[in-house]
């Protein structure tokens, strides 16, 4: 087991010891892509490729869907719920036992610091553990009909489910979709992002090791055009869970509409962190920094807008700027304060936002430039950045940047803060920081978001339903609501007298 920092650093130069798969996972094992093609995964901390993986196409997708359909009809839907739960529980245990391998792969693939990657692996294990306990708790209802009738409902698995997994939280997002789908009795075909293919493949392997029958979980790797598009458009798919941008999500919804395929969409965010004068200053400062600089701001629910009441504004922004400027940059395996962004493309997109803001006369509290790993001069880094007060119609307020960029909006009072919090087309999450419990819940009631955190950003866990309003999407993941996403309700009524 690799535990010492020095033992991790060798993987920066040579990841072969991780034994990363180079094939799709179909029908219970790894197999080469039909066309025999491969592509490379890049370590964003160095800006260099570190491993090859399979480049699939529509033929590989067809094989995976057929495998999942066979497994659904013949095996998994007929497996007793308690046995499904035992398999998921064993998977949670195997994830924990393989934490280091999974975390190092996640770190190299996504760039995030190793501590964050370990946290994601732990969260994935907890997700399987949670849904393991829910498998045999899916209960229907009895309807109050007249005495000569009996009526009841039951939950049934929706069927073969497709999962489009993003590059920012590969193992976390894979787990929060796969685990409830499997718990409900569905089968899975997953397509991880081409930037971060490995932990989804390793997770499928662990599921089979835990006793999951062949074909119940398949993973096909490759590009969005060559694998993702044919997967969501496949007539053999009964449900699509998608996490990604609004633009791509819109295309996925069009494909789902053609086949009347159910879907859950977790799209973009521009989440406000509302800070009022009476907040706990130090605690709030740490939370605001964590909300935007964790994983270099590449989080759908990142707190990317600071909506702060005027009375505390100057002192808070000054302190936050000092805190952000002290964050160290570096390769994820060196345990920096903040790692790289995922790719050169993502770095350039973020810098484009910042350059345009300068042209509009924006004031930068700190940061605002591209950077590299100070030890190697390599990698795709962006400085932790805070941009001073911007109007509600500014691009930095309205558009999802998906990087370590915090935009400040000054509020006259709590009512004005509410108006600013709701000023975008997004509605994923929001944070509220105040010592007034009544005011906190009033704001939580009136902010248009799928989830609101009070006095701790990212509070909660797998037990708490997650999803967006407005252009942040629809449907819910996590919690028992997430389990219901993979069920269909059948009602039965009979005359008995």
Catalytic residues: 266, 300
Collect all residues with Cβ–Cβ distance below 8 Å to 450 and sequence separation of at least 6: 427, 428, 429, 465, 466, 467, 468, 469, 472, 476
Which among 220, 96, 103, 78 has a CA at the least distance from the CA of 163? 220
Mark 445-468 as b/e (b = at least 16 C-beta within 10 Å): eebbbbbbbbbebbeeebeebbbb
Q: Are strands 303-309 and 271-275 parallel, antiparallel or unpaired?
A: parallel
Residue 88 to residues 213, 262, 484, Cα–Cα distance (Å)? 12, 24, 17
Three-state SS string over the chain comes to CCCCHHHHHHHHHCCHHHCCCCCEEECCEEECCCCCCEEEEEECCCCEEEEEEECCCHHHHHHHHHHHHHHHHHCHHHCCHHHHHHHHHHHHHHHHHCHHHHHHHHHHHHCCCHHHHHHHHHHHHHHHHHHHCCHHHCCCCEECCCCCEEEEEEEEECCEEEEEECCCCHHHHHHHHHHHHHHHCCEEEEEECCCCCHHHHHHHHHHHHCCCCCCCEEECCCCHHHHHHHHHCCCCCCEEEEECCHHHHHHHHHHHHHHCCEEEEECCCCEEEEECCCCCHHHHHHHHHHHHHHHHHCCCCCEEEEEEEHHHHHHHHHHHHHHHHCCCECCHHHCCCECCCCCHHHHHHHHHHHHHHHHCCCCEEECCCEECCCCCCCCCEECCEEECCCCCCCHHHHCCCCCCEEEEEEECCHHHHHHHHCCCCEECEEEEECCCHHHHHHHHHHCCCCEEEECCCCCCCCCCCECCEECCEECCECHHHHHHCCEEEEEEEEECC
Cα-based torsion angle of the residue sequence 469, 487, 126, 191 in order, rounded to the nearest 10 degrees = -80
């Amino acid at each position: 087991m690799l535990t010492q920092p020095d033992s991790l650093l060798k993987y920066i130069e040579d990841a072969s010891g991780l034994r990363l798969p180079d094939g799709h996972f179909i029908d219970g094992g790894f197999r080469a892509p039909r066309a025999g093609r491969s592509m490379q995964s890049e370590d964003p901390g160095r800006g260099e490729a570190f491993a090859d993986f399979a480049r699939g196409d529509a033929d590989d997708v067809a094989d995976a869907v057929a495998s999942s359909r066979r497994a659904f009809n013949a095996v998994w839907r007929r497996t007793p719920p308690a046995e499904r739960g035992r398999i998921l529980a064993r998977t949670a245990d195997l994830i924990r036992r393989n934490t280091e391998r999974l975390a190092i792969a996640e770190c190299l693939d996504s760039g995030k610091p190793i501590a964050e990657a370990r946290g994601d692996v732990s969260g994935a294990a907890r997700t399987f553990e949670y849904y393991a306990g829910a498998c045999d708790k899916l209960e229907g209802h009895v309807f109050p009909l007249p005495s000569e009738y009996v009526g009841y409902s039951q939950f049934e698995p929706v069927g073969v489910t497709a999962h489009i997994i993003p590059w920012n939280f590969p193992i976390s997002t894979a787990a929060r979709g796969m685990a409830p789908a499997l718990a409900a009795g569905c089968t899975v075909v997953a397509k991880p992002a081409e930037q971060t293919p490995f932990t989804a493949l390793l997770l499928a392997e662990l599921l089979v090791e835990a006793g999951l029958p062949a074909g119940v979980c398949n993973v096909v790797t490759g590009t969005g055009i060559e694998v993702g598009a044919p997967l969501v458009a496949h007539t053999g798919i009964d449900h699509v869970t998608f996490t990604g941008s609004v633009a791509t999500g819109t295309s996925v919804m069009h494909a789902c509409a053609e086949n009347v395929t159910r879907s859950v969409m977790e799209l973009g965010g521009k989440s406000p962190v509302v800070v009022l004068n009476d907040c706990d200053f130090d605690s709030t400062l740490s939370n605001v920094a964590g909300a935007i600089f964790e994983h270099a701001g590449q989080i759908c629910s990142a707190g990317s807008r600071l909506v702060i009441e005027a009375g505390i504004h100057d002192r808070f922004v000054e302190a936050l700027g000092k805190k952000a400027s002290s964050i160290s940059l570096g390769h994820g395996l060196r345990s920096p304060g903040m790692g790289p962004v995922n790719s050169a493309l993502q770095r350039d997109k973020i810098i484009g936002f910042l350059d345009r803001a300068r042209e509009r006369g924006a004031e930068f509290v700190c940061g605002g430039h591209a950077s590299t790993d100070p030890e190697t001069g390599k990698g795709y880094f962006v400085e932790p950045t805070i941009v001073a007060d911007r109007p509600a119609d500014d691009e930095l307020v309205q558009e999802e940047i998906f990087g370590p960029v915090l935009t400040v909006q000054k509020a006259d009072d709590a009512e004005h803060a509410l108006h600013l919090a709701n000023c975008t087309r997004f509605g994923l999450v929001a944070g509220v920081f105040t010592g007034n419990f009544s005011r906190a819940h009033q704001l939580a009631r009136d902010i248009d978001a799928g989830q609101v955190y009070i006095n701790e950003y990212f509070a909660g866990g797998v037990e708490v339903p997650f999803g967006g309003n407005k252009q942040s999407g629809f449907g819910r993941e996590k919690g028992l609501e997430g389990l219901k996403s993979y069920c269909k309700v059948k009602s039965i009524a009979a005359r008995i007298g």
